[in-house]
Amino acid sequence: MVRVRFAPSPTGYLHLGNIRTALFNFLFARHHGGKFIFRVEDTDRERSRPEFEKAQIDDLLWMGVVPDEGPGFGGDFGPYRQSERLGIYRDAIRKLIDQGHAYDCYVTEEEVEEMRQNARAEKRSFHFDNRGRSFSQGEIAQRKAKGIRPAVRFKIENPHLEVHDLIRGKVSFNLDDMVGDFIIQRADGMPTFHLVVCVDDARMEITHVIRGEDHLSNTPKHLLLFQALGAESPQFGHLPLVQGEGGQTLSKRLDSVSMRAFRGKGYLPHALANYMALLGWSPGNDQEIFTLEELQRAFDLGRVGRSSAIFDPQKLDWMNGEHLRRLSGEEFAESALRYLEEQGSMDLNPGLLKNVLAIFQDKIERFDQLPEALKILQDEFDYEDEALMKADESKMIFRAALEILDEWSKEPSDLYQGLVEELKKKVPAKGKSLFHPIRMAVTGRVHGPELKRVIPVLGRDKIKGRFRRALQI
RNA sequence: GUCCCUAUCGUCUAGCCUGGUCUAGGACACCAGAUUUUCAUUCUGGUAACACGGGUUCGAAUCCCGUUAGGGACGCCA
């Protein structure tokens, strides 16, 4: 049974990079009929926030990436918040120390920092020299007396490691020229990332660790840890990183690529998922538009690329437009309404809105273009082409239109057809010279949606008002 | 600085493993045209890439080495 996990630390909002990792894990799990686990890595007490955990889950659910296990989602391997698993880690660390895989290290943070500074000054690469391993009993007693609390370090004994990465193939490391013994428990008693990740992955029976390439160099440490823990190591797959526009590094502080920002701009969740899936993965054929279900079926870790990709908002916009146009009119209106409500930018009545929204389905690429488009509902507006409005030919059309509308008795759905037919009888204008002034009087714009659709939706009274107003200009 | 990863149109990518079918395919963007009495949609066409240098081979985008460039890691962050 395939079991994968997405384990962010609740220290910020999810961004493009994070959520793509989540998506790939989810897709991989679904493809293989396995489980997707959401785990909260909140061992950094200073920076972790419950609000962020909530927001992260909310963003995940919004995209349709639903955990099978996690806090609030059930599962037999809980608790899924690391702050609630401290006892488990303590036991594991105890055992590692007892078995000689780890040791209390009385070297202080300040001392390490000094070593690091020196190395930098001499342009040497730095790694801890493991001096804490060989302190004498006397020295330890002395340090204890000074009130120094020990951190626990993991003893690196076989530094030559090979990682068989699902995406990159064989990668060899020599930890000797990378790091020294690394900390698995801080002086304050909290376990660190390396420890908790391995303990949890082992206990939660994670079979595949799919994560960002930034973790590739952590993998040898984790391999060692799994070994020492007496656990079978999962398989690893390191995803190429996503870069922002212009090749900049993505971070939680880069607002433009946060999930919040994408939701605010009005992207369809599945369009976003579709776009992200194609950032680093390709199906091997020319298909580009996928539903979430199709992605699950087609996804294959072996077809994930090895080089990093730059996020291209233009292609995202195009893809969102494609998904928008594939929606039924009903679905489009619902999604649009949901967006407008979420943004709180509309106080118009949903009944009318629903009819109006349909007009814009093939005119917008993102929902945030809607408020501007919906301005045609407002009666007060400026005319883009005032000269056209003032022309005698135009006035003649407006007057004729008003006369027709005054005597109007047919179905509202015939409003456009009927109006145009009658107008053609009353005025000499036709073609552009007829439709242009009408468009200007009704919408105030040179361009816009088809009059055929706008006029029936606005209704006779609103249209009449607009022609009347047009005459006064 | 040390270690690791990567390198095909401006961007996302197919092709690479298993050399010839690649005068390198698709998509976004861009340009031109057609359709649509506007705009958008749709359709047709076009510009545009194997980072560089060596090697292996009858033959290299594909295999090997080096250079360069980009990215990542080097935390008592995750």
pLDDT at A357: 86
From the Cβ of A282, is strand B under 7 Å away?
Answer: yes
From the Cβ of A83, is strand B under 7 Å away?
Answer: no
Nucleotide nearest to A171 (CA to C1'): B4
From the Cβ of A318, is strand B under 7 Å away?
Answer: yes
Nucleotide nearest to A191 (CA to C1'): B76
Nucleotide nearest to A241 (CA to C1'): B71
Active-site residue numbers of A?
Answer: 252
Mark residues 196-235 of chain A whose C-beta is closer than 7 A to nucleic acid strand B: 213-218
Nucleotide nearest to A284 (CA to C1'): B14
ipTM for this prediction: 0.94
Residue A35 pairs with which residues in a beta bridge? A3
pLDDT at A454: 87
Query: Beta A242-243 vs A309-310: how paired, if at all?
Result: parallel
From the Cβ of A247, is strand B under 7 Å away?
Answer: yes
Helices (H) and strands (E) in chain A, counts: 19, 11
pTM of the predicted structure, to 2 decimals: 0.93
Per-residue HEC secondary structure of chain A comes to: CCEEEECCCCCCCCEHHHHHHHHHHHHHHHHCCCEEEECECCCCCCCCCHHHHHHHHHHHHHHCCCCCEECCCECCCCCCEHHHCHHHHHHHHHHHHHCCCEEEECCCHHHHHHHHHHHHHCCCCCCCCCHHHHCCHHHHHHHHHCCCCCEEEECCCCCEEEEEECCCEEEEEEHHHCCCCEEEECCCCCECHHHHHHHHHHHCCCCEEEEEHHHHHHHHHHHHHHHHHCCCCCEEEEECCEECHHHCECCCCCHHHEHHHHHHHCCCHHHHHHHHHCCCECCCCCCCCCCHHHHHHHCCHHHECCCCEECCHHHHHHHHHHHHHHCCHHHHHHHHHHHHHHHCCCCCCHHHHHHHHHCCCCCCCCHHHHHHHHHHHCCCCCCCCHHHHHCHHHHHHHHHHHHHHHCCCCCHHHHHHHHHHHHHHHCCCCCHHHHHHHHHHHHCCCCCCCHHHHHHHHHHHHHHHHHHHHHCC
For the CA of A277 and the C1' of B31, the distance in angstroms is 30
CB-side neighbour CA atoms (13 Å) of A283: 17
Which nucleotides in chain B lie closer than 7 A to a protein CB? Answer: 1-8, 10-15, 25-29, 37-42, 70-78
pLDDT by residue, tens only, chain A of 473 residues: 999 999 999 999 999 999 999 999 999 999 999 999 999 999 888 899 999 999 999 999 999 999 999 999 999 997 999 999 999 999 999 999 999 999 999 999 999 999 998 888 888 888 899 998 989 999 999 999 999 999 999 999 988 999 999 999 999 999 988 899 999 999 999 999 999 999 999 999 999 999 999 999 999 999 999 999 999 999 999 999 999 887 788 766 667 789 999 999 999 999 999 999 999 999 999 999 999 999 999 999 999 999 999 999 999 999 999 999 999 888 998 899 899 888 876 666 667 777 788 889 989 999 999 888 888 877 788 888 888 888 888 888 888 888 888 887 777 677 888 888 888 888 887 788 889 888 998 888 888 888 888 888 888 888 888 988 888 87
The residue to which tokens 């594991």 are assigned: A92
From the Cβ of A86, is strand B under 7 Å away?
Answer: no
d(CA A75, CA A59): 21
For the CA of A118 and the C1' of B63, the distance in angstroms is 44
pLDDT at A212: 96
Top CATH class of A386-471 equals mainly alpha
d(CA A278, CA A320): 13
For the CA of A204 and the C1' of B70, the distance in angstroms is 37
Reference A240, options A303, A306, A300, A299; nearest CA is A306
Tokens for A441?
């009087």
For the CA of A277 and the C1' of B67, the distance in angstroms is 34
From the Cβ of A315, is strand B under 7 Å away?
Answer: yes
pLDDT at A345: 64
Question: How distant, in Å, are the alpha carbons of A179, A358, A402, A411, A422 from that of A418?
Answer: 81, 22, 13, 9, 6
Mark residues 355-414 of chain A whose C-beta is closer than 7 A to nucleic acid strand B: 362-363
The residue to which tokens 């009408």 are assigned: A438
